[in-house]
Amino acid sequence: MPAELIRILIGLVAVAVSVGLIGLVMVWVERKVAGHIQRRPGPFEVGPNGLLQPLADALKLVGKQLFMPDKADPILFWLAPVLSFLPVLLLFLPLPVGDGLLALDINLGLLLILAFSGLAVLSLLLGGWASNNKYGLLGAARAVSQSVAYEIPLLLSVLAVSFVAGSLNLAEVVKGQGTWPWNWNIMTQPLAFLIYMVSALGETNRAPFDLPEAESELTAGFHTEYSGMGFGLFFLAEYANMVVVCSVATALFLGGWHGPVLPGPVWFVLKVSLLMLLMVFLRWTYPRVRFDQLLNINWKWLLPLAVLNLLATSFFVKLAQTW
């Protein structure tokens, strides 16, 4: 099917461009918001209001010498940042930005996202392991146990929504919701939304769950030894992952492109930005949790709650069907 192929190709290019752009904008937003929270202006020297600061930073990162520690594993060391960034591009393909505005319209879109987002942890492990650094190793070990743990409640909460919608196709899920907030899935699945957001923080290694790179304990965790673009790719992947989880949350819980007056894609971007802003706010407000607490939150709270939520949902879905 050449039409489908062309669509994917165009989608890939669009995604690659927008991921880069989003990364730059997010860096600026994060620093600006952090600045204002801390009652300072944030970047404001480069460009109007510091808008060009991320660009300058990116140029600096690109210009830096690629440096690898002695006795590190060269192949794995350089593979890790690339591997962290590439799957992210795929994750964007099945995301419905507007009605019919998505690169890859498949029935298993949600599954694709969940499957490929699991790959990210592999790159963290590789990066931490291959850099022959004790902090890196500890960070990698933390990243693996954290990602593996948080994937489960994430999956279960997503599953609850797809039970209600009866589809794993994100576009279908969005279509099942309505224009106004009370028509969105968050009204029927508030607990799932909460669990999803907390797990998403854990999955993307965002504060207060940024244990793998906890700089006061592990200096920089898995990317201690990375500089220049190696670090840049990890950095970009983190922001891209954030966008993905927020987009999925928007599609699943917040009615996707639905909204009054404004066109669909605008609503979608608006909702995603709001969620991202929330994540930024969380980062600059809370202390970091401890590692055992992190796992306790997951295994003792999120997982049982997610399972209960799933059971209750399936019960009601079945009830609705038989009636």
Output 44 or 163, the one with its CB closest to another protein. 44
**Smallest gap from residue 290 Cβ to another protein (A):** 5
**Smallest gap from residue 289 Cβ to another protein (A):** 6
Output 220 or 236, the one with its CB closest to another protein. 220
- The residue ranges that bind another protein (CB under 8 A) are 33-41, 44, 71, 73, 132, 134-135, 137-138, 141-142, 207-208, 210, 214-219, 281-293
**In whole angstroms, what is the distance from residue 212 CA to residue 218 CA?**
8
* Alpha carbon separation from 89 to 84, 103, 120, 258, 267 (Å, rounded): 10, 11, 12, 24, 22
Output 77 or 239, the one with its CB closest to another protein. 77
Burial of 63 (0-12, 13-18, 19+ CB in 10 A): exposed
Output 18 or 227, the one with its CB closest to another protein. 227
- Paired strand residues for 98: 101
**Smallest gap from residue 14 Cβ to another protein (A):** 32
**Smallest gap from residue 237 Cβ to another protein (A):** 21
Burial profile 14-50: b = 16 or more Cβ within 10 angstroms, e = fewer: ebeeebeebbbbbbbbbbbbebeeeeeebbeeeeeeb
**Smallest gap from residue 77 Cβ to another protein (A):** 11
> In which element (H, E) is residue 116 found?
helix 109-117
Output 114 or 141, the one with its CB closest to another protein. 141
